[in-house]
Each structure stands twice: as C-alpha cells, then as structure tokens.
Amino acid sequence: MKLISVSQKIIVVRIIPQELPKFNYDKFYLNLTNGLEVLNYIKKSPFQLNNINFIRIQSSHCERNRLDLVLRDIDYDFIVNFVSGKRILIADGYSRQYPPRSFFIGIEFIRYCICKITNQEFFPAFTRTKNSIPNFNNKYLEIKKQYPSLFKKLKYIKRIFNTVTPNKWYLTYIIFKSELDGKYEKLFRSLK
C-alpha cells in the first residue's frame, strides 16, 4: 500500500490487487473496460467482494482533452458516494502509461470540479496532475460557460456537499498492468 496524498480533505492510497483483502471500503468501482481484469484475481482468492459498481472514464476523452465528456459520463452514484465521504475503491488497468489517464486526468478532473464547486482546496493526488491545474481550471470555466446543463450537475453536487459536509474524502486506487488490454471477450467473460 502506498499513500499518495493526504490533506485536510482527501486521503488517496494506491494498492495492488493482492492487498485488496486488507482494505475496508464502502463502494468498489471498476473502470470499464480494463478494470474488469481485477475480477480474475478476486475469483482466484478467498476474498469476497460486495458492492461492485461500474464507471466509465475513457482515456481517449482524457487524451483529447475532452474533460467535459469525462464529467458528463461519470455516474451520479460515484459522485454522491464520493462527496458524502464514503470510502471509495477504484480499479483500472493500464496498457502503455502508468498511471492510466483515467486516474491522473479523469478522476483528478472530477475531484477538481468537486473541490471548485464546493469551495474546497484541491490537492493533486498524482504529481503529474500539478501541471494540469491550469488546464483543469480552463475546462471548468468552459463547462460553466458553454455547457449549462453539465454545470447544473456540479451545482447539484454542491447541494449534496452542503447538506452532508464530510470530514474527509477517501479514494483508494488499484492500478495494475493490464494483460488483457483490447481483449474484450476475455474481459467481459470475467463478469460471469
């Protein structure tokens, strides 16, 4: 287990699949599609998972700097659980680049927007994110100006935050080298 970031508001930890049984969580999210690969490890272990959920943060959106699409695609289930202080576990695999863009751009942008709309200080979890903050801010302002329906999503998050005001936000990442990248049939079979 590696502590990536701690601040007054967020604790971010990275673990490997073998450490999964040691971690307590409230919600477990698999990022489609490579995140499904972690199910193959879990099926071979005595560890039982509950509360498996799915999110889709496409690295292609991150690569093209279409962060509006990242925010649009993220499910309210994830946002509500994160904003209300639930202990969140997210799994994703990478094929070329560590960490995957879904984390150091996608999740970090979502966190940035949540911090911005709730007037919380943003603490980057990944060192690569520090260079992204000006871009994140520009994209946030672009969403505010050009995508009013998407900005309503953020304003809704603010209402939730103002009601529950958690002491901390918890994110734990399982990041692993994908052996099945692009092998969709094998990845989808792991759902059985």
DSSP string, the chain: -EEEEE-SSEEEEEE-GGGGGG---SEEEEETTGGGGHHHHHHTSS----SEEEE---HHHHHTT-HHHHHHHS-HHHHHHHHTT-EEEEEEEESSSSS-HIIIIIIHHHHHHHHHHTT-----SSHHHHTTHHHHHHHHHHHHHH-HHHHHHHHHHHHHHHHH--S-EEEEEEEEE-SSTT-HHHHHHTT-
pTM of the model: 0.82
Residue segments in the chain with a per-residue pLDDT below the cut of 70 = 1-23, 41-51, 98, 126-130, 167, 184, 187, 191
Give pLDDT tens digits for 129-154: 667 889 999 999 999 999 999 999 99
Residue type, 44: K
The reported pLDDT for the residue numbered 5 is 46
